Amino acid sequence: MNSGILQAFQRELICPICMNYFIDPVTIDCGHSFCRPCFYLNWQDFPILTQCFECIKTTQHRNLKTNIRLKKMASLARKADLWLFLSSEEQMCGIHRETKKMFCEVDKSLLCLLCSSSQEHRDHRHCPIEWAAEEHRENLLKKMQSLWEKACENHRNLNMETTRTRYWKDYVNLRLEAIRAEYQKMPAFHHEEEKHNLEMLKKKGKDIFHQLHLSKSKMAHRREIFRGMYAELKKMCHKPDVELLQGFGDILHRSESVLLHMPQPLNLELSAGPITGLRDRLNQFRVDITLHHDEANSHIFQYGDLRTICIGCDHQNAPHTTATPTNFLAWGAQTFTSGKYYWEVYVGDSWNWAFGVCNKYWKENNQNDNIYGEEGLFSLACVKNDIQFSLFTTSPLALQYVPRPTSHVGLFLDCEAGTVSFVDVNQSSLIYTIPNCSFSPPLRPIFCCIHL
């Protein structure tokens, strides 16, 4: 083959970022290709839509698949370089005058075939150099994938802690205001209890704020360790075959130890003391809620039978709601246009449940058991993520860092004040009050669950 054509062909197998033969190449939307590790290390802190390193066109770097054909050709190019290296006079066996084709994994030496069968190396593990190099390179790529997944998980956790730290003081202040407002509706003799509960809440809030900063620091430090280890593995992958085999050392073991230390987000819980007489006051507005006869089911809100809304955070750290096709939504038979009303539901030790009130618009747009949005929905939801439970309220959608209720939960609807309050009946404590609700009467109770 013409040397110019050969050189042009080889250039097509070189990553434009690292200027080495491709390892695990990926081809993005515009058609340009890069090593996956180079792509990740250059764009990991960018948004999902980025610019191509070559043509500056906008591209989306999600779910990138390995370009198998390009990977095979790059592997062939490395083998050609290897054989060019081994065919040199310096690499000939001094005893047998044969090419050193074999690699001894015990003493990391290159051997000719006859030497590998000698008494000195007979009990050692050895194999063709090109096979050993590709095997080691693939092991590195697998470890890099595991490392990258952990790095992405740590990145998400760091974003979560950063967001929670940014809004934590505001959340604590809202809790304080809501509890203070609740005490204002109680007799004056609760003053000492109010003072004690608010002071305890402030102290817990400050302690958690400090813990969040420590958690962020640990995750930021771990991010640099992940990135450094990933870059070291990438550098090893790009080494020529013989250098890779002889310099491999304990790099896999060290990368494994990095994976063992993974800081986790804090399980935040800002509990408040009980409010004496809270339920007695709310029971003055007690109503019995029954489900519409067409949608009622005897299993709703029974222990262990509740599975419903799945709520999380998207890439912009904004909470959102989704629901599976098997969600069961049921509305109470009653409607409310004015006045004050209080009712309770029993949730026991169940998880993934939700209840609240919604307006006519929200109900009519959710007839097919799908939760499209939160506009017109004022609810409390409990969800389970892995081993942790989380509470959310809607309108606006917000996390509530309070202990998960394990008995009865109460809802107080005040149409005049434009508020919806949720209380933990067993603890006689306020979970949250949704303020400034934009009600569009009539309002109807809503229950969300799914049957096992």
pTM of the complete model: 0.77
- Amino acid found at 311: I
DSSP 8-state code for residue 289: -
Residues in Cβ contact with 228 at an 8 Å cutoff, skipping those fewer than 6 apart: none
The structure tokens 């919604």 sit at: 358
Assign 15 to helix, strand or coil: coil
Same domain, 98 and 73: no
- Per DSSP, helices labelled H in 264-308 are 278-282
| Residue 141 token pair | 């790529």
C-alpha span between 216 and 218 (Å, rounded): 5
Structural domain includes residue 192: yes
Same domain, 152 and 92: no
Give the pLDDT of residue 295: 45
Same domain, 149 and 116: no
C-alpha span between 368 and 244 (Å, rounded): 59
Which helix H or strand E contains 304, and what residues bound it?
Answer: none
Assign 443 to helix, strand or coil: strand
Low-confidence residues in the chain, pLDDT < 50 = 293-326, 368-372, 451-452
Q: Range of 446's domain?
A: 278-307+325-450
C-alpha span between 55 and 51 (Å, rounded): 8
C-alpha span between 133 and 243 (Å, rounded): 9
Burial 260-277 (b: 16+ CB within 10 A, else e): eeebebbebebebbbbee
Give the pLDDT of residue 183: 92
DSSP 8-state code for residue 369: S
| Residue 75 token pair | 């592997």
Which helix H or strand E contains 199, and what residues bound it?
Answer: helix 191-237
Q: Which of 232, 223, 239 is nearest to 253 (CA)?
A: 232
Same domain, 296 and 436: yes
Same domain, 52 and 187: no
| Residue 434 β-bridge partners | 420
C-alpha span between 115 and 109 (Å, rounded): 11
The structure tokens 């080495």 sit at: 20
| Residue 354 token pair | 């939700």
CATH code of the domain containing 94: 3.30.160.60
Structural domain includes residue 369: yes
Structural domain includes residue 134: no
Structural domain includes residue 375: yes
- Amino acid found at 217: S
**What's the total number of domains in the chain?**
4
C-alpha span between 294 and 431 (Å, rounded): 31
Same domain, 112 and 163: no
| Count of C-beta atoms within a 10 Å radius of residue 355 | 26
Q: Where does residue 184 fall: left (phi above 0), alpha (psi -120 to 50 degrees), or beta otherwise? A: alpha
Structural domain includes residue 264: no
CATH code of the domain containing 336: 2.60.120.920
> In Å, what is the CA distance from 389 to each residue of 3, 381, 384?
65, 10, 4
Structural domain includes residue 270: no
Same domain, 234 and 156: yes
| Residue 170 token pair | 């505001």
Give the pLDDT of residue 423: 95
C-alpha span between 187 and 277 (Å, rounded): 9
Same domain, 106 and 176: no
Assign 202 to helix, strand or coil: helix
Same domain, 297 and 411: yes
Same domain, 363 and 435: yes
Same domain, 222 and 296: no
Give the pLDDT of residue 449: 64
Q: What is the dihedral angle through the alpha carbons of 413, 417, 418, 424, rounded to the nearest 10 degrees?
A: -40
Same domain, 99 and 190: no
